[in-house]
Structure 1
Amino acid sequence: MSTAPRSPPFRAEHIGSLLRPDHLVQHRYAVADGSKSADSLVPVEQESIKEIVKLQQECGIHSLTNGEHSRHQFWGTFMETLNGMEEINLRDSGYDQSIFRQYAPDVKSFMHAKTIPNAVTVATGKISHTGVSTFLPELKYMQSILPRDQWPNIKLTLTSPSWYHFRYAPGRAYTEGVYANDDEYFADLAKAYQTELKILYDAGLRNGQVDDPNLAYFCSEAMLEGWKADPQNHQTADEQFDAYMRFYNACFQRPADFHLGIHLCRGNYLGSKHFSEGAYDRIATKLFNDLNVSTYYLEYDTPRAGGFEPLKHLPKEKNVVLGVVTSKFPELEDQREMVERVYKAADYVAEGDGSSREEALQRLCVSPQCGFASHAEGNALQRKDMRNKLKLVRAIADEVWPGQP
């Protein structure tokens, strides 16, 4: 049988963010415009988190998150609060739009809409951790409302290491004179990431999920064509992907009992918008074999993600959570069809290493393809629709893996 560690991940998973009640969204905007105090937001967030944890439990979900109800956007505030990092869009002089890779899928979408990407943050000084984790209060509050025997089930979603690197043109993730090259920038950021993981681990976190749109962009033919045509690039897209693998592995150094997974996101924005397309085939071998994580949360809700064939490259010690249920729209998938898709995925895993379908299934789980509310307002569906989706995920898991959490 497979030696892949599990529980976490659980057979029925979800990707972290869950729809926020409107009064919470509006209260956070009121804090932003100064009409309400920051302190007044805390009890509103906490009450909302209690309700969303209860909803997960009612749906039979064991991997519990706070729904990201204490955040405005999915990536939180880790990068922004590091020493040396600055949101330069808040400067009076603003910034030059040439800072961006115009072909980066999210940037391209923003520019088409004649707006700017969120939180234009770069290193204006040497990066280091402050010693204070902005994610820690999220973990502590979840621990305060759950019995201790459920603490290992708490899942905290974490910022992608390359979140503020990929979107910028070469050498523009840091201001002139701060770093001589990406290797220096990556080294300091990796140390800060290691510190963050240690703080969270020491506080009891055993289940982390990195939310990462950028690696999935290397599956996009449109992005790759833009990369190749960009005269500023001093390395190929493949070389950049390899550099990210080394960088991420430096960031992800952790104890053996700290389960860490990574969600490859293709975009989850206003109106249930996605940013990129492309099958995993191009990156699967390196992604599965070179990246130091235990679990991959992959989006498989539409044909834009390609087929299950890349799962043939999955090592026996790793898991894949199949995001076959969409979180973007309310229409409910057919349970029988989703079960058959899980079996089809297992057959490809089995083909890759000569195992049986039953053995391959031990390395698979099921989930919605992404969160329901990566941004404040959430996707184009209602709370009852979200509940139905989570219940469907639970029902699929119960049919494929009866009696397993």
Structure 2
Amino acid sequence: MSSSKLHRNPPFRAEHLGSLLRTDKLLETRHAWEAGKKSAKDLEAVEDTDVKEIVKLQYDLGYEAITDGEYRRHMFWGSFWPGLEGMTEIATPDPDLFRMYIPDIAAFTEAGYKPGETVLCTGKIRHVGSTYTAQFDYLKSLVPESKWAGLKLTLAAPNWYHLRYKEGKAYPKDVYKNDDEYFADVAKAYQAELKILYEHGLRNVQFDDPNLAYFCSEAMIEGWKKDPLNTCSPDELLEKYIDLYNACVAEIPDDMHVGVHLCRGNFVNSRHFSEGGYDRIATLLFQKLNMHTYYLEYDTARAGGFEPLQHLPKNKNVILGVVTSKFPQLENEDEMVERVKEAAKWIAKGTGETEKEALNRCGVSPQCGFASHSSGNAVKWEDMIAKLKLVRRIADRIWPGEP
């Protein structure tokens, strides 16, 4: 997979992670639609208006990796499964389905919420139609064709339909004998999806993946090791997930940019899910996973230091999430500039590049979206704008004149 250039094509110097705060009108209309008090057409009309306005705002703030704010979604994973034959949503899941030590499951249940979007395999998986093309086609209609290559679509992580569930619960054994068979069909579904999206003009894909970050969590690792049902080690499972990703993107064209955001959680009230530095997964993550770009959370000490970036190869990029989207307080701009430069020093140490060369493969962003859950978190609209402006200023100081 060829490396991406950081100029007119993604990734860009100033990025955000996809989800943006919804307007009160959009939230009210969605809730009314869910209650049967508004039609789907009513909801779509508000979505269209708000997407159009949020696209203009992103351009006004100086961003090129434009998203629709995930305004047509309830949660960040964006419901890939309805386009798959053989997958079924469980509205009221039995708690016994879940590995309760998986960080997001623990956070949801402790907060009194049911785990988000429980989808199980119930038959052979087959891709039968894209659930994303309508979202992307509308987004594309709002900008000139010269800007299409920067438009970004966030996709659910392929391992989302596996890690959360206890051994033997993600799929029936009479349908798939083992994980390898199951993952092979999941990968084929993603290959089909990416092909369709490419044909619609998409060139910039970001996988949103909390699960990879969970392998940094000692609490998750300990829970995994104590679980008598598990048939492989955490490291073996991580390798399987990397192989799954590589199969998903194996057939993408050379001009399609793919990246992965290692999310540590951004639940209601800005609660995070997992902690732990990237050290224990860095070699596999950076050197074996076939992604052009890594969007990494680096806003607090829970993500550890920049030392793991020594393992980032010369043909890959990193977007450094040094600005938090969780809380309104603004970071010190000078300190954030220095943090990005510190990260570049560690990258250069690992590759033998100059620090300037290492900086050429970096960008800056908030550490997560502003509304992974449609209800948002502990920041208000004006806080989000201030954070996005700060990211743009940091980028302009380090890489003047670059998008």
TM-score (norm 1): 0.97
The residue aligned with 2:353 is 355
Task: Give matches, 1:198-347, under 5 Å.
Answer: 198-253=195-250, 254-347=252-345
Q: Which residue of 1 aligns with 2:28?
A: 26
1:153-211 Cα deviation digits (max 9, x unpaired): 10001110011211001121113422211111111111011000000001110001000
Q: Distance in 2 between matches of 1:240 and 1:398?
A: 40
In the alignment, what sits opposite 1:68? 70
In structure 2, distance between residues paired with 1:268 and 1:80: 24
**Cα deviation digits, residues 35-86 of structure 1 (max 9, x gap):** 1111211110010001111111111111100000111111111124311100
Distance in 2 (CA, whole Å) between partners of 1:63 and 1:10 is 7
2:136 aligned to which of 129, 135, 139: 139
State the SS of the aligned residue for 2:116: coil
Determine if the alignment matches structure 1 residue 178 to structure 2 residue 180. Answer: no
Q: Tell me whether 1:149 sits opposite 2:146 in the alignment.
A: yes
Contact 2:3–2:292 (CA<8 Å) still a contact in 1? no
Specify which of 71, 77, 80 is matched with residue 78 of structure 1: 80
Decide whether the 8 Å contact of 1:80 with 1:121 is kept in 2. no
Q: How far off its partner does 1:29 sit?
A: 1.2
Identify if the C-alpha distance between structure 1 residues 335 and 255 changes in structure 2 by more than 3 Å, giving closer, same or farther: same
Letter in 1 for 2:382: K
Instruction: Please list every run of 5 or more consecutive structure 2 residues that lacks an aligned counterpart in the other structure.
Output: none
Residue identity opposite 2:142 in structure 1: I
The sequence identity of aligned pairs, in percent, is 59
| Whole-Å separation in 2 of the counterparts to 1:247 and 1:373 | 27
Q: Distance in 1 between matches of 2:16 and 2:94?
A: 38
Following superposition, the deviation at residue 115 of structure 1 comes to 3.2
> Aligned-pair distance for 1:401?
0.6
Aligned match of 1:402: 400
Deviations 1:342-394 (A, max 9, x none): 01000000100111111110010000000000111112111111111111101
C-alpha separation in 2, matches of 1:5 and 1:125: 41
Instruction: Give the partner amino acid of 2:29.
Output: H
- Of 9, 15, 18, the residue aligned with 1:13 is 15
- Check conservation: 2:4, 2:257, Cα contact below 8 A: no
CA displacement at 1:9 relative to structure 2: 0.4
Of 108, 112, 119, 1:110 maps to 108
Indicate conservation of the 8 Å contact 2:4/2:11, yes or no. Answer: no
1:56 counterpart (46, 55, 58): 58
Cα displacement string for residues 115-142 of structure 1 (whole angstroms, at most 9, x for unaligned residues) = 3201211011111111x21110111001
Amino acid at match of 2:20: L
Structure 2 counterpart SS, 1:330: coil
In the aligned structure 2, how far is the partner of 1:376 from the partner of 1:34? 18
Match of 2:45 in 1: 43
- Partners of 1:277 and 1:357 in 2: CA distance: 28
CA offsets, 1:224-271, max 9 Å, x none? 000011100100000000111111111112111100000000001100
Preserved contact between residue 265 and residue 273 of structure 2 (Cα < 8 Å): yes
* Cα distance in structure 2, aligned partners of 1:50 and 1:276: 34
Partners of 1:165 and 1:359 in 2: CA distance: 39
Question: 1:320 Cα deviation (Å)?
Answer: 0.2
Q: In the alignment, residue 204 of structure 1 is paired with which amino acid?
A: G
* 1:289 and 1:315 in contact (8 A); partners too: yes
8 Å CA contact 2:264–2:275 kept in 1: the answer is yes
The more displaced of 143-152 and 316-325 is 143-152
What is the rounded CA distance, in whole Å, between the counterparts of 2:253 and 2:125 in structure 1? 24
CA distance in 1 between partners of 2:373 and 2:268 (Å):
7
- Matched length: 399
TM-score (norm 2): 0.97
Distance 2:343 2:65 in 1: 22
Q: Secondary structure at the match of 1:358?
A: helix
For residues 344 and 291 of structure 1, what CA distance do their matches in structure 2 show?
Answer: 24
Residue equivalent to 1:101: 99
CA distance in 2, matches of 1:45, 1:108: 32
CA distance in 1, matches of 2:328, 2:311: 33
* 1:283-318 superposed Cα distances (whole Å, 9 cap, x missing partner): 011000111110000000000000000000000000
> How much does 1:22 deviate?
1.1
How many Å separate the matches in 2 of 1:47 and 1:113?
Answer: 33
Structure 1 residue aligned with 2:194: 197
